[in-house]
Amino acid sequence: MVCFEDVLKLSPLLLGLVVLCGCSQRGELVGAASVGVLNLPGQIAVGFNHHQHNRYQSPISGEWRDGDDIEQMLVQAIEVAQHEILVAVQELSAPRIAEALIAAQHRGVTVRVILENNYSTPWTEQTPSQLKPHQRQRWRQLEQLADQNGDGTTTPEEAELGDAIGLLRHHRIPIVDDTEDGSRGSGLMHHKFVVIDRTVVLTGSANFTRSGMHGDANRPRTRGNVNHILRVQSDALAELFRQEFGTMWGDGPGGKLNSRFGLQKESTGVRTAMVGATRVDVLFAPHRKGDLNHGLNWIEEQLDEARTSIDMALFVFTAQQLADALQGGVNAGLQIRLIADPSFASRSFSEVLDLLGVGLPDRNCKLEKDNQPFNKGLKGVGTPRLARGDKLHHKFAVIDNKKVITGSFNWSPSAAHTNDETLMVIHSPQLAKHFTREMDRLWDTAELGITPHIQRKLDRQKIRCGDGVERG
């Protein structure tokens, strides 16, 4: 077997062909077989930054830790690029990735970058006191990460080298964001993909941030948000992603206002690319609510086609129609497991609560208009135990152990109808085993059912609202 770190040293031609190594309760594996060495379909590789089958040295703490170095996966692909690198990602704040892009441009590679407008300004040009609380927290985190010698003081030199967007702009890497169409930005430019030399696509759930991939500064227990990245070698798939990039890019920075984001893009349906013998279906969001091609409808189709099992690891789950589809799966006797991010699972609009059989009124003592808690809460629903500061950031599902739903697409109406997103269905039992193994890892230490945290929120709202709950 070739281990992940060794794979990263291979040529791009070979890389796609190798093998990579009620009460809360602890989860137990249900029907999980011993996986051992897992093969992958030809021309596809995948990295999980928290899994237990590889180790790498964290650039944050310097310690060896479990997981794949998904930043190195991105950097390696950039380093071997010969002609063109197209990056579309919500947030890019990892200086090492910026440095790799700059080096590529210096050796004659065309480099273009699209960002979400909230993350396109160098942090060194921002004034913390003028930022919103979340943005201020991010600014402080980036300042701490820039402190290379760890002396508690970030010098101007360290700040300059630690500002990824500042580095890109200083070296005149062309950048646009979702205001390039003349708007203030609509929804989120939420893509997370790179296209290399018209033949390789890297995509998944991860933003290109050190805190999201490795952990937070001054928090040694953090391991970064739980994420994955796929690397797919396919001219056909790369062309689909290039077309999406080109629509958003238009003529680049300045010039005509011909960039198209959000609902300004021409609506398209599912498109298919064969990656060797593996079928990959792709849908780029958003779509208008009246357009039947939208992503939630497509996910519902996949859930409805399930015959034995559905596994889900989700950051956000707020789509009522998908909760209703899962109820149909329960009625049909399917084995269903859901692991959700704790910070979103307990919100009043979370469909995780529906699956647990409870409704949580919001601060105005109102329930969602279409709220439909299951009559009997599912036992196979839980939240992972993570270090404070880390989030479960996956957006994947495994259907019948033979196909994987993944991408940047959260299971929410905004992902379907507002944001620029990638949603993929990969038909591969081999790849499904890798995602099932990640699911098993999360499940093995999860808190299942109504956790103490959720119960406390339910109790507080019961006292606050009493019987005066209304539907929104």
pLDDT value at 30 more than 50: no
- Compute and round to an integer the Cα radius of gyration of the chain: 22
pLDDT value at 24 more than 60: no
pLDDT value at 372 more than 80: yes
Q: How far is CA 339 from the centre of its chain?
A: 14
pLDDT of 278: 97
CA 324, CA 14: separation in Å to the nearest integer?
Answer: 43
Q: Which fold has domain 1-21+38-121+159-259?
A: Endonuclease; Chain A (3.30.870)
pLDDT band at 196 (very low <50, low <70, confident <90, very high): very high
pLDDT band at 17 (very low <50, low <70, confident <90, very high): very low
Mean pLDDT lowest among 58-67, 83-92, 96-105, 230-239: 58-67
pLDDT of 27: 39
Which residue from 239, 251, 259 is spatially nearest to 189, judged by alpha carbons? 259
Mean pLDDT lowest among 10-19, 132-141, 167-176: 10-19
CA 277, CA 39: separation in Å to the nearest integer?
Answer: 14
pLDDT value at 410 more than 60: yes
pLDDT band at 185 (very low <50, low <70, confident <90, very high): confident
Residues 62, 68, 73: CA angle, nearest 5 degrees = 100
| Sign of the dihedral defined by the CA atoms of residues 290, 294, 300, 302, in that order | positive
pLDDT of 467: 76
Helix axes 320-331, 295-305, angle to 10 degrees: 10
Higher pLDDT among residues 40 and 29, named by residue: 40
> What are 260-299's pLDDT values in tens digits?
999 999 989 999 999 999 999 999 999 999 999 999 999 9
Q: Which residues of 282-311 are buried (b: 16+ CB within 10 A; e: fewer)?
A: bbbbbbeeeeeebbbebbbebbeebeebbb
All structural domains of the chain with their residue ranges? 1-21+38-121+159-259, 267-472
Question: 8: Cβ–Cβ under 8 A, 6 or more apart, which residues?
Answer: 15, 69, 72, 73, 76
pLDDT value at 151 more than 60: yes
| pLDDT mean over 109-125 | 97
Strand 192-196's sheet: what is its strand order? 44-48, 228-233, 200-204, 192-196, 84-89, 110-115, 175-177
| pLDDT mean over 216-240 | 96
pLDDT band at 466 (very low <50, low <70, confident <90, very high): confident
pLDDT band at 10 (very low <50, low <70, confident <90, very high): very low
Which residue from 175, 369, 189, 366 is spatially nearest to 286, judged by alpha carbons? 189
pLDDT value at 6 more than 60: no
pLDDT band at 35 (very low <50, low <70, confident <90, very high): very low
Q: 409 and 422 in contact (C-beta within 8 Å)? A: yes
Domain 267-472 falls under CATH 3.30.870.10: yes
pLDDT value at 7 more than 90: no
Q: Alpha carbon of 279 to those of 43, 309, 445: distances in Å?
A: 12, 20, 33
Mean pLDDT lowest among 85-99, 214-228, 392-406, 458-472: 458-472
User: Does 133 sit behind a cis peptide bond, omega within 30 degrees of 0 on the bond before it?
Assistant: no
Residue found by looking up tokens 């944001």 in the block: 419
Question: 365: Cβ–Cβ under 8 A, 6 or more apart, which residues?
Answer: 461, 464, 465, 468, 469, 470
Q: 49 and 228 in contact (C-beta within 8 Å)? A: yes
pLDDT band at 8 (very low <50, low <70, confident <90, very high): very low
Higher pLDDT among residues 470 and 341, named by residue: 341
| pLDDT mean over 464-471 | 79
Which residue from 126, 121, 149, 154 is spatially nearest to 139, judged by alpha carbons? 126
Element (H, E) at 238: helix 235-249
| pLDDT mean over 376-405 | 96
CA 34, CA 277: separation in Å to the nearest integer?
Answer: 26
pLDDT of 371: 87
pLDDT of 395: 98
pLDDT value at 16 more than 50: no
pLDDT of 472: 63
Q: Three-class SS of residue 175?
A: strand
**Mean per-residue pLDDT over the chain, rounded:** 91
Domains 1-21+38-121+159-259 and 267-472 share a fold: yes
| pLDDT mean over 136-148 | 94
Q: 430 and 40 in contact (C-beta within 8 Å)? A: yes
| Sign of the dihedral defined by the CA atoms of residues 127, 132, 138, 144, in that order | positive
Q: Please, which residues bridge with residue 253 across strands? A: none
Q: 92 and 206 in contact (C-beta within 8 Å)? A: no
Task: Write down the pTM of the prediction.
Answer: 0.91
Indicate the residue type of 469: V
